[in-house]
Amino acid sequence: MSLGTIFDIAGSAMSAQSLRLNTVASNLANAESTGEAEGDTYRAKKPIFAAVLEDAKKGFGKSQGEGVYSVKLVDIVDSEAPLEVRNMPGHPLANESGEVYYPNVNVVEEMADMMSASSSFQTSIEVMNGARKMQERLLTLGS
């Protein structure tokens, strides 16, 4: 595996974690938005990722048959958790029954996802820094 491949893998992981952080931010921003009915209420978003084997013949320095996995976004889906229904007859968005629908965003879960994504992003940075240091040491071997 070449050092350039390490940068590609870590870069795809950083992109995935960045997207994960963006969906967490969107969920947290909409955690207290309300709706009159189930259909017009915000639902928490969850990204779905997959490991994809890249074409081995494209890269420089790769032997035939060697592949590289990267992280790709498959889809962003709505959470299937039930919405929170609150009885608030005085609320401007209350329906005829006095119910107001709140998103199915679990703030504690979102904060845990944010910390996990942030930690994974930092780990990818450390991997890239390690690969960069190895490249620098290779350049100094001949001098």
User: 78-128 pLDDT, tens per residue?
Assistant: 999 999 999 999 999 898 899 999 999 999 999 999 999 999 999 999 999
* Residue 136 clears pLDDT 80, i.e. is over it: yes
Tens digit of each residue's pLDDT (9 = 90 or more) over 38-55? 888 999 999 999 988 876
Do residues 8 and 68 make contact, with C-beta atoms less than 8 angstroms apart? yes
* Residue 77 clears pLDDT 80, i.e. is over it: yes
| Dist. CA 118–CA 12, nearest whole Å | 15
* Residue 18 clears pLDDT 70, i.e. is over it: yes
% of the chain beyond a pLDDT of 70: 90
Do residues 132 and 62 make contact, with C-beta atoms less than 8 angstroms apart? no
Model-level pTM greater than 0.85? no
Confidence band, pLDDT 50/70/90 cuts, at residue 37: confident
What is residue 143's predicted lDDT score, i.e. its pLDDT? 67
Closest of 105, 128, 108, 124 to residue 18, by C-alpha: 124
